[in-house]
Amino acid sequence: MRRQASTPRDGWEKTIEAQGLAYHRSAHPVHLTRPYWDESVHYTFTMEEVLDLEGQVEELHGMCLEAVAHVVESGRHRDFAIPEWAVPEVTESWRRGDPHVYGRFDLRYDGTGPAKLLEYNADTPTSLVESSLIQWFWLKDAYPGDDQWNCLHERLVDRWRELPLQSGPAHFAWTNMDETGEEVMTLGYLQETAQQAGLTTVAVAMEDIGWDSRTLRFVDMEQRVIRTLCKLYPWEWAVADPFGPQAVAQQVSMTWVEPLWKMLLSNKALLAVLWEMYPGHPNLLPAYLDGPRDLPAHIEKPLLGREGASMRIVSPEGIQRTEGDYGAEGYVYQEFRALPDFDGWRPVLGAWVVGDEAAGLGIRETSGLITDDSSSFVPHRIVP
């Protein structure tokens, strides 16, 4: 794993916007001089490294599924701050095997040892457009003879074909709260992969989904019954909404992407459960729910936090924290191990899983210790 300088393409801004990264300006804090998409640098990997990482990612995914089974069978939902009234449906969603599509592991990796799991974005993962499309087109323009860890597009199309969906169009729902356009473009891309799989699709705003009290079904603005719903609206938000009970009760009559049981994978309490089940595993960092115990340095992560908000690092060097409104749901205490330093920048590897297979890689860099909305996305390639 190496970080290398590269020459940006002429007119790269218009190029990536035409390819779907329309939000690269709006989703990035305006005061930053470094752009969100930065092709002036990139990372290189050997094929041996990539194959090894693929194996580690698939092992981690399998361990996470075992952790869900453990939580369901042992009734540990309270550790995940799931409302008691929703627990039976979460349990049944898992036991039915409600189908899932994709997720993203965030990993610490420096090229010299096993990757370390930081968290699993398994319900509403983003940076999909840049991981699947934008960096692939960059590779074809800048290094046409090289390869990339990236079969996301093909795997997504194949996954839609595998799903046992009901008749009728599949709905892809964004929320009007999305001011940057990232959610709209991500769902638009997912919708495109579903169309390439042969599905009929409809785009809809979450706010335009209605409840038909006669048929007891969700409907769109054309009064069509929604039988498949792909969303980037987190389940913890959905269960807190006025129509949350109806959404939870619709698990049998609808296909949800992602399914309700993913509440257990997208919650950082998962990190502590994994450490309990697999203590000392080379891909895990020690993590606990009842406090930092004897960790010499630790990071406090809110169970439902996003974009690095509401975190606190406690180490012999002092305390660092990020602003945010998360934490009322509780925290997990994970060993703090600083991200590796490459020329003053610290990368996080976003390793994608589609179905149950590793499918690609996206990298975000930060100059600080916590990856947040100020971090930039940089491409990668595989070298001989």
- With 70 as the cut, is the pLDDT of residue 27 above it? no
Confidence of residue 33 (pLDDT cuts 50, 70, 90): confident
Q: What is the pLDDT of residues 124-150, one digit of tens each?
A: 999 999 999 999 999 999 999 999 999
Q: Could you tell me if 207 and 238 are in contact, meaning their C-beta atoms sit under 8 angstroms apart?
A: no
The Cα–Cα gap between 202 and 191 comes to 8
Q: According to the model, what pLDDT value does residue 372 have?
A: 82
- Enumerate the β-bridge partners of residue 135: none
The Cα–Cα gap between 240 and 232 comes to 15
The Cα–Cα gap between 174 and 172 comes to 7
| Model pTM above 0.85 | yes
Q: According to the model, what pLDDT value does residue 373 have?
A: 78
Q: How far is CA 155 from the centre of its chain?
A: 16
The beta strands (E) that lie in 207-302 are given as: 210-212, 217-219, 228-231, 255-257, 287-288, 298-302
Sign of the Cα torsion 17, 22, 26, 32 reads negative
Residue 65 phi, psi dihedral angles, 5° rounding = -65, -40
176: its two tokens: 């009007």
Mean pLDDT of 59-79: 97
Nearest Cα neighbor of 353 from 128, 186, 135 is 128
The Cα–Cα gap between 370 and 337 comes to 11
In degrees, to the nearest 5, what angle opens at C-alpha 364 toward C-alphas 282 and 355?
Answer: 60
Q: What order do you get walking across the sheet with 201-205 strand by strand?
A: 201-205, 170-174, 228-231, 255-257
Domain ranges of the chain: 2-267+340-383, 286-335
Mean pLDDT of 106-120: 96
